[in-house]
Amino acid sequence: MEEQAIFTRAKHIRDVIRYIDRFKDAAVVIYLDDRIIDSPLWASHIRDISLIHKAGLRVMLVPGSHKYIDKILAENNISWERKNGCRITSDDAMPLIKTAAFDVSNIVMSSLAGEHLTAVIGNWVRARAKGVIDGIDYGTSGEIDRIDSDAIRTVLSDGFIPIFPCIGWNLSGKPYNISSLQLATQIAIRMQADKLFFLVPGAEISADYFSLPAGIGLSPESCIPAMNIDELDNFLALNKTANRSLDTDEQALHEHILSIVRLGKTACMQGVTRVHILNSSLNGTIPCEIFSDLGSGTMIYSSNYGKLRPMERSDIAAVLTLIQPFVRKGYLLPRTENQLESQYQDYIVYELDGGIRACAALHIYDDKQAEIAAVAVDETCTHIGIGPKIMDCLITRAKRLALDSVFVLTTQTTDWFESLGFRPDDIATLPEKRKQLWSPARGSKLLRMKLR
């Protein structure tokens, strides 16, 4: 097998192993839109949930029941209306709503049984009537009052998967219809989950449906792979008004995704580590989101996802692996372990979920010049703006050191450096020490940025 193919395959396997170790025993809440049940990918999603459970993640499932409740009420000629995201019905609709909610949960439980997993449907949610607000009587709609976290932890510790219907009961046993989206969010918050997933048909955050913040990184599919809270606030501000270019169905999906994004912000602000919005129309979206750096959907996070930091000695092996493809293509000169050992303090790295995904060095010379060298960004991360961030960090460092200029030597990436503000210069202007290392045979071009 070709060396590059082996290298690429090994890299993916290492990433999966790293994530399995990182998320072992992690608490994961997954919201399942009930439209997925009738899709061709239902069995595949259930199998993926089974796999992540077997990998050691503690899975909790919240199936939505919107479609099934609509159907059973229509079949029984019971009318309803929606106000502020709540279904308003008369009391005689509640037995039917409860039937539909438990039917969906039973479908999920039966599907998991087909994967040899045991799931439990429980009444762990206490609710109260939503009541009358601004003159609107919300009838059977309820608000979450309490979640029995201790009982849920017991179920999880026994190796079972808890399933939560969209029903809550008050202290006297009266049932209320609660929002499955709100329920999934509150379970994640109260269980302090590591991850909260919203698996919804068509849920993609791209320029096709939304206004996107300027300069935000995009995936190869032109979707936002991740947003921190600040970027999220900017995104919500840009999308406050309806997108009039969308048709009715698209507009409904647009508003639905925005409501999920707002819930994601609430969850992150209250202790959930990460929230993931996934398109259920993509086969394998759940494991791809968990076990790869950029995933398959949009992640919302508050901190500790991707960061620039100084290189440490323990990073040497990872950096050598990172630059290997660029050396092979002739973009970079080879580095040895001894070279990195002696120069690691010149380097910064970009760490993404515990993996080194980019690096660069600032080598300073006596005449107030510095070279930015060994710039490498993992090909899986080239679309999220790491390259400009790492360059900006080193240029800022050079300015703080009161250097006159920074330069780069390159054979194949002239256009990219010029787009960042570097301009061609004469090799004769190199510091004498660096000029001695320049090879006419390699023919690297010099580009320089003046800092003052």
Distances (CA, A) of 330 to 73, 327, 333, 411, 416: 66, 5, 7, 8, 16
Q: What percent of the chain has pLDDT over 70?
A: 97
Token pair in block for residue 234: 């900017």
The average confidence (pLDDT) of the chain is 90
Distances (CA, A) of 240 to 52, 135, 231, 235, 301: 36, 26, 14, 9, 21
Torsion of CA 206, 211, 217, 219, to 10 degrees: 10
pTM: 0.73
What is the C-alpha separation between 380 and 294, in angstroms, rounded? 7
Q: What is the pLDDT of residues 125-177, one digit of tens each?
A: 999 998 888 888 888 899 999 999 999 999 999 999 999 999 999 999 999 99
Using the Cα atoms of residue 236, residue 241, residue 246 and residue 251 in order, give the sign of their dihedral. positive
Extended beta strands in 355-425, E state: 355-364, 369-377, 405-410, 423-424
Q: State residue 334's pLDDT score.
A: 92
**Which is more confidently placed, 44 or 13?**
44
Q: State residue 372's pLDDT score.
A: 97
- What burial letters (b/e) apply to 334-349, b meaning 16+ CB within 10 Å? ebeeeebeeebebbbb
Burial of residue 234 (number of CB atoms within 10 Å: 0-12, 13-18, 19+)? middle
* Phi, psi torsion values for 201, nearest 5 degrees: -60, 130
**Which is more confidently placed, 333 or 14?**
333
* Helices and strands counted in the chain (H then E): 14, 23
Q: State residue 198's pLDDT score.
A: 97
Q: What is the pLDDT of residues 174-207, one digit of tens each?
A: 999 999 999 999 999 999 999 999 999 999 999 8
Distances (CA, A) of 51 to 28, 150, 239: 13, 25, 36
Q: Is residue 294 pLDDT above 70, yes or no?
A: no
Q: pLDDT confidence of 304, banded at 50, 70, 90? A: low
Q: pLDDT confidence of 64, banded at 50, 70, 90? A: very high
Extended beta strands in 100-184, E state: 119-121, 125-129, 132-133, 136-137, 142-147, 161-163, 167-169, 175-177
Q: Is residue 7 pLDDT above 70, yes or no?
A: no
Q: State residue 383's pLDDT score.
A: 65
Residue carrying structure tokens 């300015």: 399
Average pLDDT of span 266-288 = 92
What is the C-alpha separation between 448 and 430, in angstroms, rounded? 10
Largest separation between any pair of C-alpha atoms in the chain: 88
Torsion of CA 324, 330, 331, 336, to 10 degrees: 40
* Phi, psi torsion values for 157, nearest 5 degrees: -65, -25
Q: pLDDT confidence of 375, banded at 50, 70, 90? A: very high
* Phi, psi torsion values for 211, nearest 5 degrees: -85, 125
Q: Is residue 82 pLDDT above 90, yes or no?
A: no
Query: Counting every residue, how long is the chain?
Result: 452
Q: What is the pLDDT of residues 376-409, one digit of tens each?
A: 998 877 766 788 889 999 999 999 999 999 999 9
Torsion of CA 10, 14, 17, 19, to 10 degrees: -130
Q: State residue 229's pLDDT score.
A: 86
**Which is more confidently placed, 111 or 273?**
111
Q: What is the pLDDT of residues 217-253, one digit of tens each?
A: 888 778 898 888 888 999 999 998 877 777 888 888 8
Q: State residue 338's pLDDT score.
A: 94
Within 10 angstroms of residue 9's Cβ, the number of other Cβ atoms is 11
What is the C-alpha separation between 371 and 394, in angstroms, rounded? 10
Q: What is the pLDDT of residues 20-37, one digit of tens each?
A: 777 788 999 999 999 999
Q: Do residues 93 and 140 make contact, with C-beta atoms less than 8 angstroms apart?
A: yes
Q: pLDDT confidence of 298, banded at 50, 70, 90? A: very high
